[in-house]
Amino acid sequence: MPLATAHPSSVRLGWLDLLRGIAALIVAVHHGAGYLTPTEATWVNSWVNPGKYGVLLFFLISGYIIPASLERHGDLRAFWIGRAARIYPLLLVCLAVTAVPAAFGAWRLHGGIDDGGAAAAVVAHLTMFQDLLAVPSALNVLWTLSYELVFYFLVAALFVAGLHRASATTAIAFAVGALALGGVLTQQWLSDAVGIAPVVFGAFGVMVLAIAASVSGRAGLARAGAVLGGLLGLVLLLGDSRAGLWESISILAVMFLGTALYRAEHGPRRWPAVAATVAVVGCTVTAGLLHGYPALSETLVREFAANWIVPLAAALLSFAGGWAVRRRRVPAALSRLGAISFSVYLVHPILLLPVHEHLVVGPTRPLWLLAFTAAVLAVSWTTHRWVELPFQRWGKRLTARPAPERTAPERELAAR
């Protein structure tokens, strides 16, 4: 179906829904193909990791839209309530559906998930920081939520500091940081030094304090909470990442690049976004080669290209393509796919748990892959309709209640 021209107000976010839907579906099919069409999946993965492409595209989209949602009203309370209402209900349902059958032996969770104790594993997942707390994710896709949360905290901290407009500079700083710091610290050194449980419960306590202060409605306390949350995110990013430090910092560079692209679209200058794009691509690729694949060989270079260079380039090109059609109407089916994209992302690995446990991987089963994709879409529509939407409406009603009057400095920040 061709993209018909429409009034901008009616298609304001249609192109983002288009990209979100594509990203989520590609991640789901990528994971399903690993079990159901393994030969073909191996060949595709030798050239490009579709899952990494999907999550990098997600990160760009988050970088583009999340700061705008905060700055639209300049209200930290509304920001955090909105984020919680959108993420936690479905996340908690998916965690319960994953953990309860596992407790009765239906399937096994990732090894090492309870190395710090069962309580620490539960608390780590409730924070969404588990991938930065040395706790393996109960579902393989949940690692991205840890980076999303760091981004939320940093966006809020930059906002109260009045630095939220310096998005290109922030993206460049993280890109350079990936290059400069990527080989300095070891993975998860904080948990290795202190222990998993102390870090988990400490992070949980700081997170609760930071968000409670941020939603208090008191200007000074909200600023302190935002700064505390930003510091927590940075400490966990630099001190307890499961991934290599170069990649963890690079992910934040990609997200802030999305913010820089938003500034370019809505501001008078585009060269900062161009500079940020060049810096993010150049520095993260160099950082990966230096710190992630130091023993260069043809095989390793191809592996790095498939897992970072090609997915990053494809994500940027896809984002550019979506931006190019931003003033056109997106077909309704693709827009609906974008609406259920979060459900697609969280639900599909649950449907693969019995497959992982009981299916003998080997034969190519393309019809099974089609059936899996259809099941993912059907279940995702259901969870979006009955889990996501009711709580999103509840969050909107809650944020619509009168909050304490913001101070003049807060109003000024929101207007900048």
pLDDT digit string (tens) for 298-315? 788 899 999 999 999 999
In degrees and rounded to multiples of 5, residue 324 shows phi and psi of: -65, -30
Is 344 contained in some domain? yes
d(CA 55, CA 353): 20
Is 3 contained in some domain? no
Q: Would the pLDDT of 157 be above 90?
A: yes
Is 377 contained in some domain? yes
d(CA 207, CA 153): 10
Convert the pLDDT of each residue in 252-265 to its tens digit. 999 999 999 999 98
Residue 126 lies in domain: 8-415
Burial class (CB in 10 A: 0-12, 13-18, 19+), 223: buried
In degrees and rounded to multiples of 5, residue 192 shows phi and psi of: -65, -35
Task: Please answer whether residues 53 and 316 qualify as being in contact, where contact means their C-beta atoms are separated by less than 8 angstroms.
Answer: no
Is 244 contained in some domain? yes
Angle at 164 between CA 161 and CA 169, to 5 degrees: 110
Query: Which amino acid type is present at position 211?
Result: I
For CA atoms 262, 268, 271, 275, give the dihedral sign. Answer: negative
Question: What pLDDT is attached to residue 268?
Answer: 82
Is 388 contained in some domain? yes
Can you list the pairs that 247-251 forms with residues at least 24 positions away whose Cβ atoms lie under 8 Å? 247/178, 247/182, 247/288, 247/292, 247/308, 248/132, 248/147, 249/174, 249/177, 249/178, 249/181, 249/182, 249/287, 250/174, 250/175, 250/178, 250/280, 250/283, 250/284, 250/287, 250/288, 251/59, 251/147
Convert the pLDDT of each residue in 85-125 to its tens digit. 999 999 999 999 999 999 999 999 988 898 999 999 999 99
| pLDDT-derived band at 186, boundaries 50, 70, 90 | confident
Query: Which amino acid type is present at position 381?
Result: W
d(CA 211, CA 346): 24
| pLDDT-derived band at 405, boundaries 50, 70, 90 | low
Measured CA to CA in angstroms, residue 50 lies from 32, 43, 105, 212, 303 at distances of 12, 12, 31, 38, 13
What is the average pLDDT score of the chain?
92
Number of domains in the chain: 1
Task: Please answer whether residues 57 and 341 qualify as being in contact, where contact means their C-beta atoms are separated by less than 8 angstroms.
Answer: no
Is 45 contained in some domain? yes
Is 1 contained in some domain? no
Is 225 contained in some domain? yes
